[in-house]
Structure 1
Amino acid sequence: MTTRPLEHIRVLDFGQYLAGPLVGMMLADLGADVIRIDPPSGPRLKEPATDMLSRGKSALTLDLKSDDGLAIARDLVARADVVIENFRPGVMSRLGLGPEELRRINPQIISLSLPGFASTDPALADLPAWEAVIAARTGQFTDMGLNRRLMGINPSFTPLTLASAYGAAFGAMAVQFALYARPRNGGDHIEVPLASALLEGLVYNCEQIEDYPQRFKSPREVELDRRSAEGLPMDLRYEELSEFLDPFYRTYTCADGRGFYVVACSIVNHPRRVLETLGLKDLADGLPDFDAYLDQVDWPDTWALRNYPVGEKDRARISDAMKAAFLTKPSHDWEMLFGAAKAPATAQRSSREWMHDPHALASGLVLEVDDPRHGRMKQMGNVAWLAGDDMALVKRPGPVEDGAREQLAKILAEAPRTAPAVAGSAGWLDGLKVLDLTNVIAGPTIGSTLARYGAEVTMVQPVSPSVDPWNAVVFGLHAHRGKESVLLNLRKPTGQDALRKLIARSDVITMNGTDAQRDALGLSPEQLATINPRLILVQLDAFGGPSRGPKSDHLGYDDLAQAATGVMVRFGGGMETPEEHAHFGTIDVLTGYCACVALGAALLRLERTGEGGIARAALAAAGNLIQAQLMYDFDGRAPFDEPSGREALGWGPFYHCYRAADGWMFFAAPTNRQEALCEVPDLADLADLPEDALATALSGRFGTRPTAHWATAFSGTSSTVMPLGSLHATRDAALQLESVGEIDLDQGTFSVVRHDLHPMGRWCDLVAPNAVRPAKARVRIPGPMPKYGAHTRKVLEQLGYSTERIHEMIVNGAAGESWSEKYLPE
Structure 2
Amino acid sequence: MTDRPLSNIRVLDFGQYLAGPLVGMMLADMGAEVIRIDPPGGPRFKSPASDMLARGKSSLVLDLKNADDRAVALDLAARSDVVIENFRPGVMKRLGLGPDDLRAVNPGIISLSMPGFASTDPELAGLAAWEAVIAARTGQFTDMGLNRRLMGINPSFTPLALASAYGAAFGAMSVLFALAARDRNGGDHIEVPLASALLEGLIYNCEQIEDYPARYKSPREVELDRRTANGLPMNLRFEELSEFLDPFYRTYTCADGRGFYVVACSIAGHPQRALRTLGLSDLANELPDFSAYLDCKDWPAAWSARNYPVGAKDRARISSAMKAAFLTRPSHEWEALFGAAKAPGTAQRFTQEWLADPHALASGLVLVVDDPRYGKMRQMGNVAWIADDALAAVKQPGPTLDNARDQLGTILSERVRPAPVRTGKGGWIEGLKVLDLTNVIAGPTIGSTLARFGAEVTLVQPVEPSVDPWNAVVFGLHAQRGKKSILLNLKTPEGKDALTKLIAEADVITMNGTDEQRDKLGLSPERLEKMNPRLILVQLDAFGGPLRGPKSDHLGYDDLAQAATGVMVRFGGGMATPEEHAHFGTIDVLTGFCACISLAAALERRNRTGKGGIARAALAAAGNLIQAQFMYDFEGRGPFDEPFGREARGWAPFYHCYEAADGWMFFAAPEEQREALRAVPDLADLADQPEITLSAVLAERFATRPFAHWAAAFAGTSSTVVLLGSLHATRDTAIQRESDGAIDLTQATFRVIRHDRHPMGRWADLVAPNAVRPERGRITIPGPMPEYGTHTREVLGRLGYHPETIDAMIGAGAASESWSGKYLPE
Matches within 5 A, 1:31-70: 31-70=31-70
Matched, 1:598 2:598: yes
CA distance in 2, matches of 1:557, 1:286: 26
Moved over 6 A (4+): none
Matched, 1:525 2:525: yes
Counterpart secondary structure, 1:391:
coil
Alignment match, 2:658 = 658
CA contact (8 A) 2:183 2:420 kept: no
Matched, 1:258 2:258: yes
**Deviation for aligned residue 1:651:** 0.5
Q: How many positions carry a matched residue from both structures?
A: 826
Matched, 1:354 2:367: no
CA distance in 1, matches of 2:443, 2:182: 27
Aligned partner of 2:27: which letter? L
Q: Which stretch of structure 1 is more off in the superposition, 804-813 or 232-241?
A: 804-813
Alignment match, 2:18 = 18
Alignment match, 1:90 = 90
CA distance in 1, matches of 2:65, 2:642: 36
Alignment match, 1:434 = 434
Matches within 5 A, 1:410-489: 410-489=410-489
Counterpart secondary structure, 1:178:
helix
**Deviation for aligned residue 1:291:** 0.7
Alignment match, 1:287 = 287
Cα deviation digits, residues 152-175 of structure 1 (max 9, x gap): 000000000000000000000000
Matched, 1:143 2:143: yes
CA contact (8 A) 2:42 2:401 kept: no
Cα deviation digits, residues 464-500 of structure 1 (max 9, x gap): 0000000000000000000000000111111111001
Matches within 5 A, 1:617-656: 617-656=617-656
- Taking only aligned residues, the RMSD between alpha carbons, in angstroms, comes to 0.7
Alignment match, 1:704 = 704
**Deviation for aligned residue 1:776:** 0.8
Alignment match, 1:516 = 516
**Deviation for aligned residue 1:406:** 2.0
CA contact (8 A) 2:108 2:186 kept: yes
CA distance in 2, matches of 1:132, 1:268: 40
Alignment match, 1:668 = 668
Cα deviation digits, residues 355-403 of structure 1 (max 9, x gap): 0000000000000000000000000000000001111111110012210
Aligned partner of 2:282: which letter? D
Q: Which stretch of structure 1 is more off in the superposition, 281-290 or 564-573?
A: 281-290
CA distance in 2, matches of 1:2, 1:681: 60
Alignment match, 1:615 = 615
CA distance in 1, matches of 2:709, 2:770: 32
Alignment match, 1:369 = 369
**Deviation for aligned residue 1:112:** 0.1
CA contact (8 A) 2:304 2:310 kept: yes
Alignment match, 1:128 = 128
Aligned partner of 1:784: which letter? P
Counterpart secondary structure, 1:419:
coil
**Deviation for aligned residue 1:432:** 0.2
Scaled by the length of structure 1, the TM-score of the pair is: 1.00
Aligned partner of 1:368: which letter? V
Aligned partner of 2:499: which letter? L
Aligned partner of 1:294: which letter? L
Could you tell me which runs of 5 or more consecutive residues in structure 1 were left unpaired when the two chains were aligned: none
**Deviation for aligned residue 1:625:** 0.1
Cα deviation digits, residues 779-823 of structure 1 (max 9, x gap): 011001010000001101111111111111111111111000100
Cα deviation digits, residues 686-738 of structure 1 (max 9, x gap): 00111111111100100000111111111110100010000000000000000
**Deviation for aligned residue 1:33:** 0.2
CA contact (8 A) 2:486 2:791 kept: yes
Alignment match, 2:544 = 544
Alignment match, 1:317 = 317
Matched, 1:112 2:112: yes
Aligned partner of 1:437: which letter? L
CA contact (8 A) 2:486 2:795 kept: yes
Aligned partner of 1:625: which letter? L
Matches within 5 A, 1:257-276: 257-276=257-276
**Deviation for aligned residue 1:670:** 0.6
Counterpart secondary structure, 1:801:
coil
CA distance in 1, matches of 2:298, 2:126: 56
Aligned partner of 1:701: which letter? R
CA distance in 2, matches of 1:265, 1:627: 27
**Deviation for aligned residue 1:41:** 2.2
Aligned partner of 1:616: which letter? R
CA distance in 1, matches of 2:2, 2:712: 57
Aligned partner of 1:329: which letter? R
CA distance in 2, matches of 1:417, 1:496: 47
Aligned partner of 1:521: which letter? L
CA distance in 2, matches of 1:313, 1:793: 43
**Deviation for aligned residue 1:330:** 0.5
**Deviation for aligned residue 1:126:** 1.0
Cα deviation digits, residues 39-93 of structure 1 (max 9, x gap): 1121000100000000000000001111110110010010000000000000000
Counterpart secondary structure, 1:406:
helix
CA distance in 2, matches of 1:2, 1:289: 55
**Deviation for aligned residue 1:429:** 0.8
Cα deviation digits, residues 482-537 of structure 1 (max 9, x gap): 00000001111111110010000000000000001001111111111111100000
Cα deviation digits, residues 192-233 of structure 1 (max 9, x gap): 000000000000000000000000100000000000000000
CA distance in 2, matches of 1:585, 1:306: 20
Counterpart secondary structure, 2:603:
helix
**Deviation for aligned residue 1:123:** 1.1
CA contact (8 A) 2:365 2:380 kept: yes
**Deviation for aligned residue 1:2:** 6.5
CA distance in 2, matches of 1:479, 1:108: 33
Aligned partner of 2:421: which letter? A
Aligned partner of 2:475: which letter? F
Matched, 1:302 2:308: no
CA distance in 2, matches of 1:416, 1:787: 51
Cα deviation digits, residues 19-55 of structure 1 (max 9, x gap): 0000000000000000000111210001000000000
Cα deviation digits, residues 579-607 of structure 1 (max 9, x gap): 00001100000000000000000000000
Aligned partner of 1:547: which letter? L
Counterpart secondary structure, 1:651:
strand
Alignment match, 1:772 = 772
Counterpart secondary structure, 1:392:
coil
Could you tell me which runs of 5 or more consecutive residues in structure 2 were left unpaired when the two chains were aligned: none
Alignment match, 1:746 = 746
CA distance in 2, matches of 1:823, 1:634: 53
Q: Which stretch of structure 1 is more off in the superposition, 395-404 or 504-513?
A: 395-404
Matched, 1:733 2:733: yes
CA distance in 2, matches of 1:327, 1:100: 65
Matches within 5 A, 1:328-407: 328-407=328-407
Counterpart secondary structure, 1:429:
coil
Cα deviation digits, residues 738-780 of structure 1 (max 9, x gap): 0110100123100000000000000000000000000111101
Counterpart secondary structure, 2:750:
coil
CA contact (8 A) 2:61 2:401 kept: no
Aligned partner of 1:351: which letter? T
CA contact (8 A) 2:118 2:747 kept: no
Counterpart secondary structure, 2:473:
helix
Aligned partner of 2:337: which letter? L
CA distance in 2, matches of 1:188, 1:151: 48
Alignment match, 1:825 = 825
Counterpart secondary structure, 1:487:
strand
CA contact (8 A) 2:77 2:83 kept: yes
